[in-house]
Amino acid sequence: MASDLSDLYQEILLEHNRRPRNFKTLDDPTHQADGFNPLCGDQISLQLKVGDDKVHDVGFQGHGSAISRASASLLTQAVKGATSDETMAMFDEFHKMLTEPDAELDIDLLGDLEMLAGVIAYPTRIKCAILAWHTLKAAMDGENVATTE
Amino acid sequence: MTTAINTPGAPGRDGSGQAHGLDVIDPHRIRQDFPILHQEVNGKPLVYLDNAATTQKPQSVIDAISNYYLHNNANVHRGVHTLSQRATDDYEAGREAVRRFINAPDANEVIYVRGTTEGLNLVASSYGRKYFKAGDEVIITGMEHHSNIVPWQILGKEIGIRLRVVPFNDDGELLMDEYEAMLNDRTRMVSVVHQSNALGTVNPIPEMVELAHAHGIPVMVDAAQSIPHMPVDVQALGADFLTFSGHKMYGPTGIGALWGRAELLDDMPPYQSGGEMIRSVTFEETIYNTLPHKFEAGTPDIAGAIGLGAAVEYLESIGMERIAAYEQALLRYGTERLDGIEGVRMIGTAEEKGGVLSFYMEAAHPHDIGTILDSEGIAVRTGHHCAQPVMARYGIPATVRASLAFYNTTDDIDALVKAIDRVIEVFG
Ligand SMILES: Cc1ncc(COP(=O)(O)O)c(C=O)c1O
């Protein structure tokens, strides 16, 4: 882990941690799931409102590290308005960004999610960053629980 | 590097009593015995403060293990040949070293196990299944490691026993009145941690034993965190069973010991079965071997036992009284330094406690703190420390835990404090 700490804790990431977007519960979610990272006790609940194959609204609750919180916040921004195919494509790209060094990435697809790219240098933290995405996938697949183990 | 006792300027070193004890050990000499400590991590000198998870190994332990594999490797208690005799002698010398270390009356009462977890499971399984029946009660405390909760819970589901849990106050001290009130004629066992891994609290074992024995109730002690850091004398404690792990006392992983009173162990059924634990087998009947072999089925961790013996000898060469005095002084120093940082909340502030500095910061999640500390070369544990009920008691998900050993220095504490300043810088 030779990477500079400031690559990981970028100011904008810390800002998402302090003031997460869509940190709310939905009144009438169509999909929802809870995610756990048993290793560090991170826990999130994710709710989605999907109709006509589009994510109309998304909200999350829970507690966890700055990485997992900011990642969840960024996720909600990214998937709002996306189709389920687009959402899954983002999941795959995000996963690739965190697990395959030197992979060629679709920067346009990732958008703001790219600010978590530095996590790849911190193997113990990848699960924190990916928790929200596993939870999203579980919700979309109609499963109610996701864990990173 | 300056020596621990002569560095001016920091609190607790003014000779006014706060620093008392730091001069009983020269940690810089001790550090020469631990090769692993002399390395850089992330470009910084390693500061190892995760001793409650596992301790580092002195050269003498490493040598004892490699010596066994290089020169004496053979199975124990089986062969008439020379190597087997050497291996058996060294394996049994480890047992005798453990007996001496904990002042047990008889080496046959010392059973090698994989570690504390197995020691606790052995007693729950063997003693519990033989003696407990529906409606019986087992008392533990609210600060147990999961390994002293789950085996009793499983037994509880199987047999229908009830687990009673002694609560503790905000400082992390057991409420002894509540404990006393829990003891009754349905209680079959008290199983209690000597020193809490999450809080550092040292529980009043002799007092708890006396109260339990007044009701004829046996007491099991989880000494995983106490045995590396203070003199532990099973006769002075008055306990009936006591267990610990080699790897937390500067010995290898995969080995530990369970001590129990012979009269209790003798009447207990074997925990596992196979070779070594039997005296004679026909297809009709098996006659069990005597203690300790009855509980040591199969080929044991011979190298581990020899390494454990070497760890005991190493600790004896320094002296547990001295180790305890030094670590207490370092704990006072660390507590004072951390207490002085705004936004740091210490978790576990018992009057009687060992070298555990567990803390929580509102500004940053423990996992993020752990990452920042690691980037400064500092190893701490973050998480629930396998003691989730303790975290729940304080309403927090996790803590950061710096845990001390006698090779740690005030410089290590200063590095920790400096890194926490860095956390505050990042998280504001
Ligand atoms: C108090 C306590 N009990 C039991 C254990 C379990 O020890 P082991 O994992 O070596 O079996 C630990 C280890 O963390 C501990 O701290």
Q: What is the pLDDT of residues B168-189, one digit of tens each?
A: 999 999 999 999 999 999 999 9
| Position A2 pLDDT exceeds 80 | no
Superfamily for domain range B17-32+319-427: Aspartate Aminotransferase, domain 1 (3.90.1150.10)
The confidence score (pLDDT) of residue B275 equals 78
Measured in angstroms, the CA of B359 and the nearest CA of chain A are apart by 15
Which residues of A, range 61-100, sit inside 8 Å of B by Cβ?
63-67, 69
The confidence score (pLDDT) of residue B71 equals 98
| Position B9 pLDDT exceeds 70 | no
Q: DSSP labels for B267-329?
A: TSPPSS-SSSSEEEE-SS-EEEPPTTGGG--SS--HHHHHHHHHHHHHHHHH-HHHHHHHHHH
Using a CB-CB distance cutoff of 8 angstroms, which residues of chain B are in contact with residue A63?
A: 397
C-alpha of residue B287 to centroid of ligand 1, in Å: 33
Per the CB < 8 A criterion, the answer to whether B410 and B330 are in contact is yes
Q: Which residues' Cβ are closer than 6 Å to ligand 1?
A: B 115-117, 145, 147, 193, 197, 222, 224-225, 245, 386
What span, in angstroms and rounded, lies between the C-alpha atoms of B366 and B397?
A: 9
| Position A1 pLDDT exceeds 50 | no
Using a CB-CB distance cutoff of 8 angstroms, which residues of chain A are in contact with residue B391?
A: 41
Active-site choice (B5, B53, B297, B386): B386
A39 Cβ under 8 Å from any chain B Cβ? yes
Per the CB < 8 A criterion, the answer to whether B217 and B190 are in contact is yes
Atom of ligand 1 nearest to the CA of B222: 3
What's the average model confidence in pLDDT over B71-100? 95
What span, in angstroms and rounded, lies between the C-alpha atoms of B163 and B35?
A: 44
What span, in angstroms and rounded, lies between the C-alpha atoms of B37 and B397?
A: 31
The dotted CATH code for B61-316 is 3.40.640.10
Helix, strand, or coil (residue B261):
coil
DSSP bridge partners of B242 = B221, B259
Average pLDDT in chain B: 93
Q: What is the DSSP letter of B213?
A: H
A127 Cβ under 8 Å from any chain B Cβ? no
Q: Are B367 and A65 an interchain contact pair (Cβ–Cβ within 8 Å)?
A: yes
Per the CB < 8 A criterion, the answer to whether B191 and B152 are in contact is yes
**CATH number among 3.40.50.150, 3.90.1010.10, 3.40.50.300, 3.20.20.80, domain A2-147:** 3.90.1010.10
Is the entire prediction scored with pTM above 0.80? yes
Helix, strand, or coil (residue A39):
coil
Q: What is the pLDDT of residues B10-55, one digit of tens each?
A: 444 444 444 578 999 999 999 999 999 999 999 999 999 999 999 9
Atom of ligand 1 nearest to the CA of B248: 10
Q: Which amino acid is at B107?
A: A
- Pick B287 or B119 by higher pLDDT: B119
What span, in angstroms and rounded, lies between the C-alpha atoms of B16 and B27?
A: 21
**In the Cβ-directed half-sphere of B344, how many Cα atoms lie within 13 Å?**
24
What's the average model confidence in pLDDT over A26-42? 89
Q: Are A1 and B374 an interchain contact pair (Cβ–Cβ within 8 Å)?
A: yes
Confidence of residue A144 (pLDDT cuts 50, 70, 90): confident
The confidence score (pLDDT) of residue B15 equals 42
By residue count, chain B amounts to 428
> Which of B397, B32, B28 lies closest to A44, judged by CA?
B397
What's the average model confidence in pLDDT over B410-415? 98
User: Is B386 in the active site?
Assistant: yes
| Position B368 pLDDT exceeds 50 | yes
Nearest CA in chain B to A122: B371
Q: Which stretch of A1-10, A71-80, B256-265, B372-381 has the lowest confidence by average pLDDT? A: A1-10
Residue spans per domain, chain B? 17-32+319-427, 61-316
Q: Which amino acid is at B217?
A: I
Atom of ligand 1 nearest to the CA of B386: 14
